[in-house]
Amino acid sequence: MTVNPLLSDWTTPFDLPPFETISPEHFEEAFDAAMAEAKADTDRIADQEVAPTFENTIVALETSGKTLTKVARTFFNLTGAHTNEALQKIERDVAPKLAKHSSEMLLNSKLYGRIAALWEQRDSLELNSEDARVLERYQKMFQRAGAGLDDAGKARMADISQRLATLGTSFSQNVLKDESDYQLVLETEEDRAGLPDFLLTSAAEAANERGLDGKHVITLSRSSIEPFLQFSTNRRLREEAFKAWSARGENGGHTDNRAIISETLKLRDEKARMLGFKNFAEFKLDDTMAKTPDNVRGLLVKVWEPAVAQAREEEAKLADMARNAGENHSIEAWDWRFYSEKVRKAEHDLDETELKPYLQLENIIQAAFDTATRLFGLTFKELKDMPVYHPDVRVFEVLGKDGNRVGLFLGDYFARSSKRSGAWMSAFRSQHRLEGDVTPIIVNVMNFSKGAKGEATLLTFDDARTLFHEFGHGLHGLLSNVTYPMISGTSVSRDFVELPSQLYEHWLSQPEVLSKYAVHYKTGEPMPEALLDKLLAAANFNQGFATVEYTASALIDLELHQLEDPAELDVAAFEKEELGKIGMPQAITMRHRIPHFQHVFSGDGYAAGYYSYMWSEVMDADAFEAFEEKGNVFDPETAGKLLTYIYSAGGRQDPEAAYLAFRGRAPRIDALLEKRGFAA
């Protein structure tokens, strides 16, 4: 029998997974073996006869299950970024097994007894601040998993966890199936009317990938469909494409997510009540900066009201533009982007086709790298012929000021049918120092439309902002400087984790960055100063729309997780009723409608937590002001504080304390309102 590469020592450069030798069938054996090994590790720790110490319990847990961590990270990075039917079947099979394995550890009475004993003795253990934080997180993690329940409660909690894992996997796979199955083939000149060259080029590339050489295809990737909605003069096709995009997860048949949503909410509610909380939102928020649903709602409503008012003003301008063009229909959701592009051209003399030639993917990558060099002293060296899971993936060695390796950064930038939609950061390995100086391997995954062969890939400004956002997450993982895996990198409160990413976006809009890296892809000429000025002047154009579509999703997420009887949920009726209550403009849809709301239902990472982007934005707007107050957006002293207290600190301290240490005071919500162009 051949050796399973997932269960062998890796001899690849930088300990990257040996992707070329890994087959889907290797994962089944590897998961079984790795879970058995991890369970044996846990049992040894729990069954010790000697009294618990920080070393023999907490440190031992931190160094246990290493094979399982390695296998799981490799597998789930693949299922997100480059999956296939074989991997998806394994994912469906392994999700409940992993949940069962996790429950067996977290509900182990003897293990919890050791952690609880250490927690009770914490003041006499002479722990340093990092040790104390890790002990606190273990105590909290076990409690919130149900370790304090009786045997019947633990058994039920384990069943709930397994079922939720299965439901989350099915939800995600259903959305991916709806996305990958859809293609809008543009057959005629009428179908292609109004589309700029950059979109036709990427649509031709998408057609080639689907075996439709010589045709043009619009997909449900955001970087394909949004510009189609922005530029297509064919209103019938705009409507068709938008409705397909909006209907992901509720098309009937085996990919319909509505029953999954109801069951998921019911089980989450049951779990929360078992742990003594009124509903899942209260349970989830108890371990965040926000603390309570009322605090979250207070922030969202404060932003919602001026956003809706501005969105209605924006809609009136769109309607005027349509009437002036001889169109007498009301503005619908599939019209908004089309007419807003025309209004932007009229008000700011700015359109996407003018901007895009100056926003080459390669240059924006370099702009993100250069910003990290100027802030934190990092340098990036591209490595060729590295083991990667897809030919499009690029690998960079990241070096610190001293020339030593900080970690590896992988960039996976292009849309494909084997990749779920959206953009995200993940890790193949996290930084820690428990067993030597373990450096991180971080990946950013995007879904940009690829340029034609031999041609530059051009981005929208929103695409460029997304790249900076995800690279901010990447830096949070790369710059981590902690001892323990439990608190490494992005292992922080959900409503704090978006601070490093959203803060990093600010540097993209700085004239000294754009003037250097926004150069024409054919001539190499920098973006004209007049165009740069127009771009910056239009920074808050359409901000009412953008804020409404996001905030509506955050408010709906919050309400979903406070339902008294989620089992009887009619998803469409609930969505319509709640949007009516808050006064959602009819011409705007939620950024993520419930049936494809992957942040919330593909696992519970952002469940009752989609507000986190805005909570973090209060901090990021305020934090960037710290640089502006110094008159230098690369001020070394402020950058040093940012590195020490935010980017390198992981979860070493409470997030409020971390922000206070950086800024010297609590953040002001006024900075957020000003950033979005709303009156403070």
Backbone angles phi and psi of 420, in degrees to 5: -70, 160
3-class secondary-structure state, position 413: strand
Q: Could you list the active site residues?
A: 470
CA distance 70 to 79: 15
DSSP 185-240: EE-SHHHHTT--HHHHHHHHHHHHHTT-TTSEEE-SSHHHHHHHHHH---HHHHHH
Contact 669, 299 (CB under 8 A): yes
**Tokens (6 digits) for 55:** 């070393």
Residue 527 exposure: Cα atoms within 13 Å on the Cβ side? 24
Amino acid, single-letter form, for residue 105: M
| Cα-trace Rg, the chain | 25
Are the C-beta atoms of 109 and 147 separated by less than 8 Å? yes
**SS3 of residue 580 by DSSP:** helix
Q: Which residue has the tokens 């009412």?
A: 544
Q: What is the DSSP letter of 492?
A: S
- 3-class secondary-structure state, position 667: coil
Contact 559/297 with Cβ under 8 angstroms?
A: no
Pairing of β 405-414 and β 394-399? antiparallel
**Contact assessment for residue 362 and residue 459, using Cβ atoms and an 8 Å cutoff:** no
Task: At 528, list the tokens.
Answer: 């004209």
